[in-house]
Structure 1
Amino acid sequence: MTLTAAQLAARVDHTLLKPESSSRDFAAHIASARELGVLAICVSPSALPVADAGELIVATVCGFPSGAVKGEVKAAEAARAVGDGAREVDMVVNVGLVKDGDWDAVEADVRGVVDAVAAAAEDAGLPAAAGDPEAAARGAAVVKVIIESAALTDEEIVEACRRAEAAGAHYVKTSTGFHPSGGASAHAVRLMRETVGDRLGVKASGGIRTLAAAQEMLDAGASRLGLSGTAAILAEIAE
């Protein structure tokens, strides 16, 4: 598919997760998101609540970036994020549990966050997500599951996606962008899309720095892109 700048922006989570980011950096990030016309911003939990988000969907992360956090801590972090105004929570799986093949524990970890987000959303009077990947667009709260695909085998990618779906997640996502094994790949995105069909969204994130790379992820089946260099990529379309 070939998209206009506006069409591509409408699929972008404009992301700022650098640990050294200041309040001034976050303010500039939100301003640039509005100017670029992106769908969502993804910021650190400490940047919440975002008072001037306007029509932007506000996303944040949970158990980030390692995923090696007790499940109850992830759940509490996710619930707090929804209370602070996040409508999308991108949680990191416990990659060690994936490597152990402890799939029931992986599913329980995801389910804990999904249930915590649903409960917090209900407390906040938000509409139910009802399994819709794009429910955040109508004000519901959804969960994306970061599986760190570059660190996994194909079989692990497939089973991680299956377990995320079984636990009630709305999206599966390739990467944090912080793991030494790398970020998104078209192969992983294609495998994830084949596994979840059109029942879940697929977010490609991590190392997508050019228009060609963004296009490759969309062609492979990504429905969302996590980008930090959004402006440069969109500028390529205008050239």
Structure 2
Amino acid sequence: MTLNQYIDHTLLAPDATQADVDQIIREARENHFCSVMLNPYWVRYAHEQLKDTAVNTDTVIGFPLGANTTAIKVAEATQAIADGVDELDVVMNIGEFKAGHDAQVRQDLEAVITTGHQHHKLVKVIIETALLTDQEITRASELVADAGAEFVKTSTGFSTRGAEVNDVVLMKQAVGDRIKVKASGGVHTKAEAEAMIAAGASRLGTSSGMRVIGKA
């Protein structure tokens, strides 16, 4: 698999215009990235632009705080599915997890994961590693695997930092081959991308995809 195929080409900026979205879509098509990752508003548009390609359309759920109610997360997922999304990246309820309320966190995630799986969509769960201790990263990764997601993901890119290699190492150690790991945020160069892959990441979320592949 080429480096390009690891990349979820990401644009989640609040001020992103249609011209910006068009650029991301064009770059993803021309460089055979795995997917485009866009805010929910753009899912239907991106899906139409990419329907004759191998590039997936991805979006975020409960983003960026994870503190939406379960019903709202499920509604977001349902709307994205109706709009043609291929993959859903949902933010874990970080505060509830930090409080040790794992059962509530798992129930919240399972509702979204079930919604996705009913329509054969892949689900990734963002645990926001910047806000967790090493022990919490391990526990969160195990919880995500137990909840049935396909991926556990490091970061939203909107917290105090993005992914670090140690985060990915801990996550991969926790989940083994049960599910996959996505490193997101803080991946700006080819060297950083390769370090994340070496640590165990099977997918990379980055807004610097063109720079990573040496075209910017």
TM-score (norm 2): 0.94
What are structure 1's unaligned runs of at least 5 residues? 1-5, 122-139
Aligned partners of 1:217, 1:169: CA distance in 2, in Å?
20
Contact 1:11 1:224 in 2 (8 A): yes
Task: Report what 2:204 is aligned to.
Answer: 225
Task: Report what 2:165 is aligned to.
Answer: 186
Verify: 1:142 aligned to 2:122, yes or no: yes
The DSSP-based 3-state class of the residue aligned with 2:139 is helix
Q: Which amino acid aligns with 1:196?
A: V
Q: Which amino acid aligns with 2:10?
A: T
> Which deviations, in whole Å up to 9, do the C-alpha atoms of 1:8-62 show, x marking residues without a partner?
0011100111011112211111001111221111111000212111221111000
Q: Which amino acid aligns with 1:21?
A: A
Contact 1:63 1:74 in 2 (8 A): yes
Task: Report what 2:34 is aligned to.
Answer: 39
Aligned partners of 2:166, 2:78: CA distance in 1, in Å?
33
Taking only aligned residues, the RMSD between alpha carbons, in angstroms, comes to 1.4
Give the ranges of 4+ consecutive aligned residues of structure 1 lying more than 4 Å apart after TM superposition: none
* Alignment coverage as a number of residue pairs: 212
> Which deviations, in whole Å up to 9, do the C-alpha atoms of 1:202-230 show, x marking residues without a partner?
00001111111111101100000001111
Q: How much has 1:165 moved relative to structure 2?
A: 1.3
Show the 5 A alignment for 1:96-115. Answer: 96-115=95-114
Aligned partners of 1:41, 1:48: CA distance in 2, in Å?
10
Aligned partners of 2:54, 2:187: CA distance in 1, in Å?
25
The DSSP-based 3-state class of the residue aligned with 1:235 is coil
Aligned partners of 1:212, 1:232: CA distance in 2, in Å?
11
Task: Report what 1:22 is aligned to.
Answer: 17
Contact 2:7 2:206 in 1 (8 A): yes
TM-score (norm 1): 0.86
What are structure 2's unaligned runs of at least 5 residues? none
Show the 5 A alignment for 1:27-176. Answer: 27-49=22-44, 50=46, 51-53=48-50, 54-119=53-118, 121=119, 140-176=120-156
Task: Report what 1:135 is aligned to.
Answer: none
